[in-house]
Each structure stands twice: as C-alpha cells, then as structure tokens.
Structure 1
Amino acid sequence: AVWSASDAPVLAYMDVDLSTDLRALLPLIAPIVSGHSDLAIGTRLARSSRVVRGPKRELISRSYNLILRGALSASFSDAQCGFKAIRNEVAHDLLPLVEDDNWFFDTELLVIAQRVGLRIHEVPVDWVDDPDSRVDVVATAREDLRGVVRLLRSFAGGRIPVARLRAELGRDAEVPSTVPGVPRGMFGQLLRFGGVGVLSTLAYFVLYLGMRDLTGPQAANLVALLVTAIANTAANRRVTFGVRGSDGALRHHAGGLIAFLVGLGLTSGSLWVLHQVSPDPNRGIEVAILVLANAISTLVRFLALRQLMAHRR
C-alpha cells in the first residue's frame, strides 16, 4: 500500500530489525537509478556475502530458494532477504498482480518480474540474524509453499498476463531486431541449434553405422533417429531456447516427435528409393543421402521447436 501511494522514482524497503548492513543501500539503488535494472535485491547467498545466522535458518533459506528454482525456474538467488528496491513504474504495473500481503509478497513479485523479462540486479550483503526475531519459521514456510503452488496454478491457468506484460515492460521489447525481417535472437538460436544439431547428427551416424549390419538400414535408421530426436529436443529446450523446468515439456517433446516423424519419412524414403535403384549401394552414397535428408528434417525441427518455445507461456 505504501509503495502504491508513493511518487518516488525508486521504491525500497528493508527489514525493521536492521539485519542488513546499510552500506549496501547505494549499491542496491544505483542500478535502478541508472536505468540498468528494474529491480534490485540483497542476497545472503552470494559467495561474497557475509552472513551470521544459525544453521537452522541457513538450511531453511537455502532449501526454500532451491524449491523456487526447481518449481518456478527462479534465477535469483535469495528471494527472502528483506532488502529490495524497484522502479516506481514497474511497481505500479506489477503490484496489482501480487496477491500475497505477507511474507510471500516479495517472492511473488520477483517471480512475476522474472517471467515478464525484467532485469533483477543482486547485491551481496552483510547480514546478521536477529536473535529476538518473532517470525514463526514453520508457519511462514507453510504459507510460502502454498504461495508457490498458487503461483504455479496462476501461470498455468493464464491468470497472470505474462505475454502482455512482457511486451509492454520486458527488456526484449526495448531491443529492436538488428536485421529487418529477422526476429531478434534468431541468429543466436540458430548457432546454438546448429551446435546441438552437429552433436545429434554425429550420435545418429554412430548409432546407425553401429547397428546397420545387425538390423538392416531401415531398423537402424529408426532406432538411431528416435534416440537422437528425444535427446535433441531436450538439449534444444535448455541450450537453444533457454527453457528450464518441466513447464511445456510434454508439448515440446510432442512437437519434437512430429519433427521426428518428418525426419523418419525423409530418411526412410530416401533409403528406400536408393535401394530400389541400387540394391547394394556404396556406403558413402548412402551416408550422403542421409545427410541431405537429415538437413531438411533439421530445418523442420528448428522451425517447429522455435514456434513451440515462443508460445511456452
């Protein structure tokens, strides 16, 4: 409520117990004032942070942030450190979407900010635990876990307008394409996709050539293509398109399966035609035809996966 009523360009807060050393205040707000970042948070979990607290709170804090990374793909290191700042206009856009008004509030704000493409700056802090803290750790942890589940449902059900906010607020909207007509980021994706593709192709031919004499060309092609297609989709989700966690994984692998079927049709059809023309073809010609067929199916795979990843949220 205080943030919503403020007209200050930068909004910040810290815990009333003054556990965080105030010398970190200027480093906290500097990236926001400069326009470099949209939010800034103190972190007690950076290597250069100096923290004094008991093992129980240390374990709970690290476990909670691990849950956030696993369940919500959080990229920030310390959601609960009571030392945060935000640009005013960002706060006014995001606060109406934050349902929690208790301890989960800042986690919810950070997760939404990350999902819409805002830049979150982290500042290592010096932090000393307050031995007289009245916080009920067990009750707080229980409420936080409920908040995680609620957020997952909100994102899955589309109740948080991520796409609209990303277009309006996200850093992606500020960087135009460097080449007219070419979507921003495609060149980088193509390079990463190509790297994954080279490794997948090598694995395919190792499997194919290793099984060909035992199973015949068609069966060897089927097995090699299926194994590498599954691995290729998983690798491209993470490496090429930066998707982590299980969100959309089933849909992505289904798209990869369709691309696999296209590739299977191309490679199997090519092998069939080749063996109709020459029952015992030269192994080099066979490999060359498979390379061409795989190149075409690779293009289909890239376009299909890129379309799927673009609509992953």
Structure 2
Amino acid sequence: MSVQLLESVSTRQGPSIAPMPAQLSVVVPAYREGRRIFDNIKRLLGELDKLSVPYEVIIVSDGNTDSTVSEARRIESPVVRVFHYPMNVGKGFALSCGVDQSVGELVTFIDADMELDPANIGGFIEIMHATGCDGVIGSKRHPDSQVSYPRLRRIQSALYQLLVRALFSLNIRDSQTGLKIFRRQVLREALPLLAVKRFAFDLELLVVAHQLGYRDVREAPIRLDYQFETTVNLRSAWNVLWDTAAIFYRLHFLRYYAKRRAELSSSGKNAEAIAEAPFSN
C-alpha cells in the first residue's frame, strides 16, 4: 500500500537553522479525529517542548475521509510530519508505518485523542534513562495512575488482562494502554514479525518482543481522561478477543513468529536486526 507524505510547512519566525536530529520520535495514529486533532497535537507539542531532547512528531492518517488530514496539515511546525494512505487498515498498521518513517532512538506511541495525558511522556523517558530498560508502557493499574473511565470499561479491561496473563508469560498488568515507549532496536526486530494490523497490535508487540528476549518492560503511571466519543464498542472488544486468540495460536501451535523470523533472516530482510537475539518459544 502506498503511503503519501503530507509535510507540514513551518511559518515560525526566526533564523533559518537546521533542526537537530530527533532523538525522540512520537508516532500518533489518527482515525476520524476531525477538527480536534489540531488542538490535541498542539497540546502534545507544548508538553514535548518542555523536554530537553530533540524530537519529531509523526502523524499517520489511517485512511481518513473526514477533516483529519486537513486539520493535521494546519499544524505549522518543522518537527511535525503527516502521512496518509487511502484505506483504513488499522491502528497497528498506522503505528508500523510511523515507525518506518521515524529516526529517533526512542520511539513513543500515543493515541491522537489525547485521552492519555502527553505530560506523562517525560516520566517514561526518565525511566528509560534511569533503568536502561527495553520499554515503558502506561498502565491503568499502576498504583499511582489517575484514571477516570466507566466502571464497565474497568471490569472489561481487568478481565481481559487476566486472560492475557493466563495465555502469555508477560509480567505486566495492562497491555492495551495507548501510551508506550520503546528503544528503536526493539521495534526494528519485532515489527517485521507481527501479523495483527488492528485490535490487539499492542499485545502482539509485547509478546513478540518478550520472545525475542526484550523482557525488561516497565509499567508507569498515567493520567487518563476517558472521552465518551470513542471508537471502541462491543464489536471492537470482540475483535480484540479474536486477535488475542490468534496470537496465542500463532505462537504456540503454528510457531509463526519463529518461522517468520527465520524467513526474514534467510532472505536478508532486516537481517542485521533480526540476527541479534535468538527467538524462544
């Protein structure tokens, strides 16, 4: 599928100085965000400007037909790039596309609705630097998290995480929160092996990274302000369960990820990254 770059054009006043290479890449998948994406990205930029690290923001429009793309292009910043492809494929595909276009050694994912407070990103980076871990993921169940969302969603989320812990050897309490940060090497090795394009992409990424030996993934507190205008519904919940079962089947019965890694290694695709760690089942 062709991905079109829709560059944001800077009109900021001041001397013409080439920006420093980004050390932090923030990938923002966007679907049906419409007019609110402009204010949301401005809010994100305001928080990132407080960090003492060169950064870039990559917005990936997942087949939008509303005003999402035009609103994103209104963001006049030299650190923002907007990408678009015509068909809605899913959040996982959008994130993978964004990572492909990124340059930072640290790569952050955050949802475009900004239900998750972007001010938390700084704390995630501090954990990465202090511990040298492979990644940091936001957790609604962290004792210091400030979470505001409906009781039914809390129950659904808790039950789903019980299922995840039963099926996979992951020492985490929340796989699906949309704020995460990883070292580039982790994503370089894991992303080519993934099969999920939509609903359980987050879980599959964590499962595959774990199998590749990247097991030092820390959980961090978040602030979540649940918005009731959400694209999550019962059908989405069912699709997450279906994808989860498929990941388990691919891992334990098909040995899909190990076979896929062997295929990529033998073909020379991403060989340098893929050859660095043994894949375990």
What is the TM-score with the length of structure 1 in the denominator? 0.50
SS of alignment partner, residue 147 of structure 2: strand
* Counterpart position of 2:103: 7
* Counterpart position of 1:22: 118
Measure the CA separation in 1 of the matches of 2:198 and 2:116.
20
* Counterpart position of 1:204: none
Quote how far apart the aligned CAs of 1:77 are: 1.0
Is the 2:190–2:212 Cα contact (8 Å) retained in structure 1? no
* Counterpart position of 1:52: 148
The structure with the largest alpha-carbon Rg is 1
Quote how far apart the aligned CAs of 1:80 are: 1.0
SS of alignment partner, residue 230 of structure 2: coil
In structure 2, which of residues 188, 191, 209 is the aligned counterpart of residue 113 of structure 1? 209
Measure the CA separation in 1 of the matches of 2:249 and 2:189.
21
SS of alignment partner, residue 86 of structure 1: strand
Aligned length: 172
Quote how far apart the aligned CAs of 1:166 are: 10
Q: In percent, how many aligned pairs have the same letter? A: 23
Quote how far apart the aligned CAs of 1:34 are: 5.4
Cα-to-partner distance string for 1:203-245 (whole Å, 9 max, x where unaligned): xxxxxxxxxxxxxxxxxxxxxxxxxxxxxxxxxxxxxxxxxxx
In structure 1, which of residues 119, 131, 135 is the aligned counterpart of residue 228 of structure 2? 131
SS of alignment partner, residue 192 of structure 2: helix
SS of alignment partner, residue 121 of structure 1: strand
SS of alignment partner, residue 139 of structure 1: helix
What is the TM-score with the length of structure 2 in the denominator? 0.56
Alignment pair present for 1:96 and 2:204: no
SS of alignment partner, residue 181 of structure 2: strand
5+ residue gaps, structure 1, are 174-310
Cα-to-partner distance string for 1:250-309 (whole Å, 9 max, x where unaligned): xxxxxxxxxxxxxxxxxxxxxxxxxxxxxxxxxxxxxxxxxxxxxxxxxxxxxxxxxxxx
In structure 1, which of residues 61, 69, 76 is the aligned counterpart of residue 157 of structure 2? 61
Q: Which protein has the bigger helix share?
A: 1
Measure the CA separation in 1 of the matches of 2:203 and 2:125.
19
Is the 1:79–1:107 Cα contact (8 Å) retained in structure 2? yes
SS of alignment partner, residue 91 of structure 1: helix
- Give the aligned residue type for 1:66: L
Q: Which protein has the bigger strand share?
A: 2
Measure the CA separation in 2 of the matches of 1:7 and 1:134.
30
Is the 1:116–1:166 Cα contact (8 Å) retained in structure 2? no
Is the 2:128–2:135 Cα contact (8 Å) retained in structure 1? yes
Q: 1:45 to 1:35 in 2, by over 3 A?
A: closer
- Give the aligned residue type for 1:57: R
Measure the CA separation in 1 of the matches of 2:219 and 2:247.
23
Alignment pair present for 1:70 and 2:178: no
- Give the aligned residue type for 1:125: I
Quote how far apart the aligned CAs of 1:88 are: 1.1
Highest RCO, 1 vs 2 (Cα 8 Å, sep ≥ 6): 2
Measure the CA separation in 1 of the matches of 2:165 and 2:115.
25
Is the 2:189–2:274 Cα contact (8 Å) retained in structure 1? no
- Give the aligned residue type for 2:103: D
* Counterpart position of 1:168: 276
Q: 1:33 to 1:103 in 2, by over 3 A?
A: farther
5+ residue gaps, structure 2, are 1-96, 263-272
Is the 1:11–1:87 Cα contact (8 Å) retained in structure 2? yes
SS of alignment partner, residue 115 of structure 2: coil
